[in-house]
Each structure stands twice: as C-alpha cells, then as structure tokens.
Structure 1
Amino acid sequence: MSGTTDPARQVAERMAEAAGAWLDSLDAGQRPIGAWQAPGADETEHTRWFYTPTDHGGLTFHEQRPAQHRLVMRLVAAGLSEAGYTTVATVLGLENVLDRVEGFSVNWGRERTRDPGMYYLRVFGEPGGTRPWGWRFGGHHVSLNFLVVDGRVAATTPCFLGADPAASPLLGGATLRPLGTAEDLARELVRSLRPESAARAVLLARAPDDIVAGNSARAGDRVVLRRELWRPGGHTPDRAGNPATGLTGADRRAVALTPTPRGVPGAELDAAQRELLRALLGTYLGRVADEVSPLPRYDDPAALDAVHFAWAGSTTAGEPHYYRLQGPRLLVEWTNVHRGVNHAHAAWRDPETDFGGDVLAAHHAAHHAR
C-alpha cells in the first residue's frame, strides 16, 4: 500500500494487489484467457456482461487450481463489502441447491448444468499500472464489473445478484434468503403508499418476466431479447427472439425505461417511507466496499428526493412482482416471478457510467489527445 488516504485509491490498490497475484499465478495456457486487453482497447468484450449460466468470458474455477480459486475470491472480496462478499459466496453455493430442486436432472449438453465451478474471472489491462484497468467476475446470478482509472475506482456497475431458489429451508425452521431484505423493504414501501401515490407507483398489474434493461451495455437504450442473455454458441433458451421481459405492446410500454423516471419520487414520501427508501438503496449500493459505495450520496435529502420508486405486479407476498428505483446516476431493478415466485433478479446500474464509459472517455481525452 502507498499510504494514500483517498478511499477510492485504497480500494484500487487492494484490488490491484489481488489481481496481480492472480495474474502471476496463471500459466501459459491460462493467461490468454484470463488476461485481456485494457478497457477502451476492446469495448465489445469489456462491456459484455451476462447473469445467466452461460460463458461470461474468462477463466472458470474448473480451469484453475484450488490455490488460484482462493486468489479469485480474494479479488472479489477486495471490491465488495463484507455483506456483499458473503452474499456472492452464498449465491455461488446456491447452484448446488438449485441442482437438487431440479432433481439433478437438467441437461443443457454440458457435463454439469447447475455448476458452482462455472464462474469466470477476466482482468482487463495491467493492475496498478498507469493505464485504466478493470476486472469482471460472473456466472449464474452474479456479475461484478470494476474499473480503475488514474489509480482510483471509477466504476462499480453493472452489479447483478440473483437467487434461485430465492428462499430455501435451513435447519431449525430458519430460511435462507440471500436477497430477502431487498424484497421485503420494497413491498413494505409500496403497501405503505397512499392510494393516489400507489396508483402512480404501480405501472402494470402484471410483472415482467425479467428486469427491463436486461444485460444491455447501455441501460434502457433498446428492447433486450432472450437470446442476448446468453453468449452465442452455447445453450439458447426457448422463445429466443422474444423480449426478455416477456411483455409486448402496451404492457411493455407501460414498464419501459424512460429518461424521465416513472413512479413516485422520494420528495413525495413521508419520513417513514423515506427511511424505507434509503434502506432499500442500501441493499444494492452496500454490495461494494464502503469506501467506493455511492450510498452516502443519499444522506442529502435532495438526492433522495430525486429517486423514483415504481412497481409492477401484485403487492401480495408470494405473488409475481417487479420494482425499480430510478434517478440521476441510478437504476435498480428487481423481479421475482419464476419457479413459483422463488427466483429473484436484482440489478444495480449507473446509466451514466456503467463500465466507466464517461470516465474512460475523459481519461483518453486528457492523456491521449493529439
């Protein structure tokens, strides 16, 4: 460590040390897969992301030795809060639970379909160097994307977590719900709204099949099709040419992302509802290390005023539902629809700087202008 007091630099240094150790462990066959061009050199790959059990790009756990697995998780921990890391580790383990739920029978033409070894790491650029660099870790229901520019963490999104099953029994009558608070707080909030506010917040009586932005490189710029949630060449889902949300026509337009957010703004909520809204934000923005989380931004009442809350589907627990939070530099989406409403998707994005696009552009303008 350099001894810097800049929190964003401290996290960047931790990540650079961990990423460098992992890269140093790679052999000649692993390195061309795990180490990629610097961000900006290959934006097609850098801005490609998935949350399905498809090829995310990079080295899987299967392609690494156990000692390298530990280095992978050390890098993941360097970018996340303790709670964020624990949740990610739990989601990885849920692949074994899902396999049992499905009777160990799902076959997509590979050796194992529900596979905790099919999580991928790829490092872009040279960690700790003068040029921008970043890393991506992902697999089924996990996508972490970090960018470092000028020695500081510049982007932490897209950041996706999911859970299937969303709720699983534990011994003693307890229930494992890795993302449960993100569901419960939102339902409490929508059910607390006055009738006139609820009418504005609930965009559609039906919940979409998936998050509206899908895995688009730029949130909300187009309709994402189901086949785009999977890397070409592997398993392709049924109805591949249909919208990932399952909605068409007026229903799709009712929940579509718009430049002016839909729903009820924080400015119209009472004090208790605003506390719920900020706590809900914390279940997303608290995933990353505290030093780089934008959550303190919402200590400013004006920032919370600008966050809009919208819902689709039933407000009754156990029935299909969707919600989102949208405001300046913020898009949060949640859906729990499938497997008997026991399959959750929860995405956090910064539409202005996902993958650090604006920061990269400013860096290249400053350092590479002719």
Structure 2
Amino acid sequence: MFTTTDFIPKKYTGSIENGNFEWSAPSNIALVKYWGKKNDQIPANPSVSFTLNNCKTITKLAFEKRSNQKVFSFDLLFEGKPKEDFKPKIQKFLERVEVYLPFLKEYHFTIDTQNTFPHSSGIASSASGMAALAMNFMNLEKVLNPEMTDEYFYKKASFLARLGSGSACRSIKGNVVVWGNQENIKDSSDLFGVEFPYTIHENFKNYQDTILLVDKGEKQVSSTVGHDLMHDHPYAERRFAQAHENLDQLIGIFENGDLDAFIKVVESEALTLHAMMMTSMPYFILMKPNTLQIINGIWKFRKETQIPVCFTLDAGANVHVLYPKNAKEKVLQFIQAELVAFCQNGQYICDEIGDGAIAL
C-alpha cells in the first residue's frame, strides 16, 4: 500500500535540459458522490465514477532549464492565448506538489491547454485540466527517474492530480474509478484513484452519457466552499455512511448487471448531493427549473418505455443522462424530441465511458 512519503523522490539519475510533452485527460462523472473533505484534499467519503471519453482537456507542457531557482516560473495559455486568471490556481498547485516534484523550480514551463468541450459550458474542467497537467509533470519525472514503474507512475499522477482538484484523481486511468478508502474494495485509498478491481457486467460496457447543458453560467457556489459546508452539516455523518453503503451496493450491481438497482443508487446519490447543499448553512439551490423538467421527463419516459435511462447531477444545473449503448438510438430520439427544449441554446454533448489519460 502506497503512503504519502512513497511519492517523495530520493534522487534522480536522469537529466534533461528542455523539451515538451502533451497529454489529454478526460472529465469524469461520479456515480457515488464525493462531497466534503478533510485537510490535504482527503475525501470525507469514498466515491466512484465513470471516466468520460470525449469531454477532455489537452495540455502541452514545454520546459527549459533556467538559472534562477528561487521561485516557480511558468506561462499559462488557454486555447493559445495568455490566461492570467488561471495562474493563481496553477501557482497553488505547484506549491502543494513541490515536495513530491522537487525539480519544479529548475525549469521555466509553458503550459498550453484547451478543452474539447465548449468553454463555460458548465462542465467541470478542473478534473480534466489538473489530471492532464499531472500527467505531463509525471512524464518529465519519468525522464529524470527512468527506473520508475508504470504502477508508480499512474498512482503518483493520480495522487498529484488530487492535490490540484479532488475529483481529478479519478481522471487518470480506468473506465470505472474508485477514490477513497472502502473496506470491500481492494487497494482503495484516500490518496489516489484506483481502477475498479472487480467484475463489470456487459451491461455497463460502453455506457453512454449525454450531458444536457441547462445553465452555462458561473456556479453559484464553488466546489471548495461547498465541500467546506459539510464540516458543520447536521446530516454529514449519515451522508458519509450512506456513500459507503451505496458503493458497497454498486460492487454487486456492477457484477450482476442489475440496471434497475443501478438507477436507484445513481439517482438517489444525485439528489442527496443537492439535498446536502439545500440543508447546509448557508444553503444553495443549484438546480434550475429546467433541471427539474428534464428529471421529470426522464422519469416519465422510463416508466412508459421501460428503457433503463437515468440521470445524475454534479454540483450544478446540468443533467447527465446515463443509459446502456443498446438504448442509444431511442434515448437520443427522446432527448432531441423532448429534452433539448430545456437546454440553454439547445446545447447538449454526447459522451460515453472512456479509459483515462493518453499521451499525444
């Protein structure tokens, strides 16, 4: 079992003056939600997510050795243009990970990043963005430490990504990823995400996620503030226990392919997440009227057709519509006929389960 100190390097045997790497990393959608955290980005409860395939961040990291090694030195480009307002988050990330990547001040970095999904589409880009950046830094460390194993490479990449954005640790490797200690899941850890280690039924292979963009505006409450509100939340302890229970249920559901049971867990988790926000102090309602229209539409369609389609939500108004691949044609017809009207500018994104970060 890896511990925090395992990710502090002893010494480097390799060297490199300059170069560049490029990685893509996807977003992910949690089925059992992570909401509430302890110090150092440690989750208050375990979570499990589907890794997405199409919604991803592509980041190119160029680096060059330099003489002044007292401060971090980097330029940040978003879609080819300087993006000063992103720099404080990157600065904070570098400060958090320096002990694990002691070479960071030896180089000047140019970080050039872009998303495959529309900017301000309401899809969280911090998970994919931090995952892609972590993969690039690990690529550089692997040059400096050529004896590094693949297992260590991916575990440390997930560990580093977590320090940038908690859910980013689930965007590194695997199509179903668990983050957080869970007694019944082998090798699960609070420090990094792990590939779900047990059988996954054919029903869940190539699972589809169509993301309905209800509201593309700035979130009312940042994830950091939302997580902090769980510290004094009256229902926090019961919620954390519920997450463990639901994750245990999903172990059996993934094995036996029970889509009805899957729907109950996933929709309950989504609504519980929003219930936690509505009952915190201060309280928030992040769903919009059109979010509720879509949810009711999905329930009605599922009841009338018996097609196992369901929804989940992140901490916002957009709706992720989840369904097996064999239902794709009928579900997309339903979305286009009845749900697109509730999307901002009629926008939605078709995605499906993917495998994680890829070197380009």
Higher relative contact order (CA 8 A, sep 6+): 2
> TM-score with structure 1 length normalisation?
0.28
Q: Which has the higher strand share?
A: 2
